[in-house]
Amino acid sequence: MRRLILSDIHANLEALEAVLADACNQYDEIVCCGDLVGYGASPAEVVAWARRNAAVIVRGNHDRACAGIEAMEDFNNAARDAALWTRHQLPYSDLAWLAALPAGPLRYELFEVAHGSPIDEDEYLVSDFEAYSVSRYIERPVSFIGHTHLQGLWSFRAGEFRKAPPVKPGQHEHSYTLDPASVYLVNPGAVGQPRDGDPRAGYALWDDASGTLLLRRVAYDIAGAQARIRQAGLPEHLASRLAHGR
Ligand code: ZN
């Protein structure tokens, strides 16, 4: 099966549409690693799309916050303002659906999905050491995570690990052939709010039959997403940061 792996869409419809166009006809099923909403100005559109199209979704901390089941103690002011705004935009049925999303990890035959890490949905895996520390808890050949908004792929084999090189600015994708003797931790990157300095939307494609995994970046209508955020009266920082990918 060929899967489209998405994370941290964050109500950015322009970025989501660009990813879907770029990945068109290259997948059979959609997997989401959480944070459908929060920060961006199109929560209703993104939730409606996810309800119709995603086969696998775990909840993210912003999904919990927008649904009203998270105290938001770790949220900065912009994140809290956006969560409260989002709560007012969504009908009750969408809020109830968000609140009922499962916590990761969800485990399937060949892969598992979590928001933060395989042991804690709120853990940030940024450094190689942090990734290595959770590697022994990975129970499937491939573990997909999100949360940090940093695209990346680590492989672990017999106590050794490797971080794959990132997709560089100007490159569309990196292709990896997965080794059946290794396990992998993969962050597809953020669709809606990248934070690694490359403002393009990030996503992954994985074909479990051929063992091919692609990390990709695609340009999108950043000005359009920014205009919607400003029009909604959301904090200016949430609009301006999209241009920098920070
Ligand atoms: Zn997020």
Per residue in 30-73, pLDDT tens?
999 999 999 999 999 999 999 999 999 999 999 999 999 999 99
Segment among 100-114, 141-155, 159-173, 193-207 with least mean pLDDT: 159-173
Residues with Cβ within 8 Å of residue 92, at least 6 apart in sequence: none
The pLDDT tens digits of the residues spanning 81-94 come to 999 999 999 999 99
127: which residues sit within 8 A by CB, 6+ positions away?
none
| pLDDT per position as a tens digit, 1-22 | 999 999 999 999 999 999 999 9
**pLDDT confidence of residue 143:** 98
Tokens representing 99 are: 């609140």
pLDDT of 165 above 90: no
Confidence at residue 88, expressed as pLDDT on a 0 to 100 scale: 97
pLDDT value at 160 more than 90: no
Distance 147 CA to ligand 1 centre (A): 5
Residue 166: predicted pLDDT: 84
C-alpha 7 to ligand 1 mean position (Å): 8
CA 101 to ligand 1 center in whole angstroms: 15
pLDDT at res. 177: 96
Residue 195 pLDDT: 97
How far apart, in whole angstroms, are the C-alpha atoms of residue 156 and residue 150? Answer: 19
Report the distance separating Cα 177 and Cα 15, nearest Å. 27
Tell me the sheet residues that pair with 153: 186
pTM (2 d.p.):
0.97
Q: How far away, in angstroms, is 61 Cα from ligand 1 center?
A: 7
In the predicted model, what is the mean pLDDT of residues 197-225?
98
Calculate how far, in angstroms, residue 117's C-alpha sits from the geometric centre of ligand 1.
13
Select from 170, 134, 146, 119 the least CA-distant residue to 56.
Answer: 146
- 3-class SS of residue 3: strand
Peptide bond connecting 43 to the previous residue in cis, omega within 30 degrees of 0: no
Res 75 pLDDT > 90: yes
In this prediction, residue 159 carries a pLDDT of: 81
Give the Å distance between the CA of 39 and the centre of ligand 1.
9
b (16+ CB within 10 A) / e for 104-139: bbbeeeebbbbbbbbebbebebeeeeebbebbeebe
The mean per-residue pLDDT over the stretch 168-181 comes to: 95
Instruction: Tell me which long-range contacts 208-213 makes (C-beta under 8 A, separation of at least 24).
Output: 208/1, 208/2, 208/3, 208/110, 208/111, 209/1, 209/2, 210/177, 211/177, 211/178, 211/179, 211/180, 212/175, 212/176, 212/177, 212/178, 213/142, 213/153, 213/175, 213/176, 213/177, 213/178, 213/184, 213/186
